[in-house]
Structure 1
Amino acid sequence: MAFFFSNTFHLPWTGPARIILTGFVGPLSASLYAVVLLRLAARVPAGHALFVAVTAVPAWALAATAAASWSVRFDEADMNQGFSWFGSSMLLFMIPGWMAGTACLAVPLYSLLASRRSLPLRVTQAVLLAVPMAVMLGALMVMPPMAGTLGAKLLLIVALRQGMPAARPSVGSSRAVPRQVVAPNRRTVGGAALALLVVGLACAVFALTGSTWAPMVTDSTHAMNLGLAYGAFASIPLLLLAGRALAARLGPITRWSVLLGCTAMAVQGTAQLLGAGHTLQWNGILVAATLMGFAMALPLGRWVAGGRFTRIAVVALMGLAASVVGLPLVMMSTFLAPIGSAVLLVLAWRAGNAGQPRLSS
């Protein structure tokens, strides 16, 4: 994440460093921590846990080598100077890595399956589940370096909660929330959602087609920047409405999440107004993504077990990890806002219908 959220991401040495960290060190550590948690919970026997720990090393080493081979082949294709043996050997590394990963996953899956099943059936089911899981985990490894951080924070929360009885946060009934929050102000919420839906659609249309009919824009890039900026600003009242609808479920922390989300949208809109090519535009987008990540992470802090310092530290790490989700959210906010407005409009309509007395036959 440090490589991505800084200008060092494009330096030559960051490519190998990213593959080593996100393709081998990170996944191997996560695999070892996961099997330790399963072992501490007595879900897998000691022999199976040791097998997973040993098999994970060649599995992730081969997967990282396959990713490096693919990266080299990609660069060689850009230079159009032919392919080296390493760039042409991706399958040579990927297939045995896939086999090792399947074996690594099949053993704990075998232990987790119900013991009432027969031995051949449990083995078959474990292998059939492990084959696609190995592919998916290997594919996640070659994605941007932040993808694994979300899973790492999930492991961290599980580790903190394991063996520590935490009080379940008091939340209202999920069926009662729309009626309690939305129903008393359904006309206001519905009218605002409808207005925001129209404005959001207009911003999205302007971003895509504004260069063909709006005399104020110079080209399609300018239209896209303006549309994204106006759409980001228009998302602020939508976040305020959504925060009001979620306050009863998430508690007082909602106001801080809404504040961070609105600030993120303001920063995103300002960054888009700066225009493509401006030196501060990308930095502004990254700041907005980080703020949105913390806005999503704050409500999750109630599930973190431990003392105050532990909770603050884990929520901070969760906010940084959630920035990978916050980045596409802020960048696509103009196109996502109409969807959120439509959802609020439907909730207000349903709450209105639920609040109307039924006519007797």
Structure 2
Amino acid sequence: MTRRRLPQTPAYWYDGSMPPWPARMLSALYASVTALRRKAYGRGWLRSRPAGAPVIVVGNITAGGTGKTPLVIALVERLRAQGWTPGVASRGHGREDEATPRWVDAGSNAAQAGDEPLLIARGTGAKVRVDRDRVAAARALVAAGCNVIVCDDGLQHYRLARDIEIEVQDARRRYGNGRLLPAGPLREPVERAADCDFRVLNLGTTSEGEVQREAGFGEWPMRLQVGAAQPLLGGRPQPLSAFAGQRVHAVAGIGDPERFFSMLREAGIAVVPHAFPDHHAYQAADFDFGSKLPILMTEKDAVKCAGLVDAMAFMVPVQARLPEAFWIALLDRLPARP
């Protein structure tokens, strides 16, 4: 069996222990640089560039996954239903040759497109552009006929002017120890969240009643609705309940693998967890688990694994569900549709 590298999230970000002094020193330096950069844009020393269409940024102020991708997909679908032609701009973290801008569609290669952009392209059919320069990506989408841009991540990419900011936060981990990188998980101070137009709290696969209890003042609850498990090599989908009482290999190469494992355990599944680094480039050897059990993995992992697994591998899709009032409030912020 191959040895696996686990995601390198420092334990002190979330367990309450004191970060080591080198991390605290670097955090102070990071705070100074971040504050100076924000001040430069706030005072006009640096200028944000318009895309030529309304821009909605979906991001977070913490490092690691918070559930942005399901929200981006839901947002694209809602905008299209309202008569807009949305396009998605993304950096495409983890892809090969990140310096090269690319168009991403359902047939793109995950290594070149990036796992999240490919998942969005397959899930929505919308135009998706990956580029380290998000201004260039947004303008390319406008030139291609899109009249509203959804920026996947990029809350800190101030060079791209935006009309709406949506912060997504994980309900279980929140802001961790409240410290800036690398002493904590924060990319920007907690106060930055107050500047966002919408604050979405990802409550995972909790019930509707739990959603209403846990979302705080000024937060919009988002829950994830789990769909039937889809065989990666084709075949009949299986309800997640079909795996209840069984042992399965659970594979997650996302920002917070435990979120996926907990979801499966809540469905009564005996999980053998296999956590990989975020945006992991899978190889066939990664699935040499030493026992023949069904394999359940996230959609984000599945777009990279179809040629590496056998017929016992399934992806578990999720869909973001938010209150209708959230969509009404968000659409009300946009200008009249062209």
Q: Same fold (TM over 0.5)?
A: no
The normalised TM-score by structure 2 is: 0.20
Q: Normalising by structure 1, what TM-score?
A: 0.19
| Bigger strand share | 2
Which protein shows a greater Rg? 1
More helix by percentage: 1
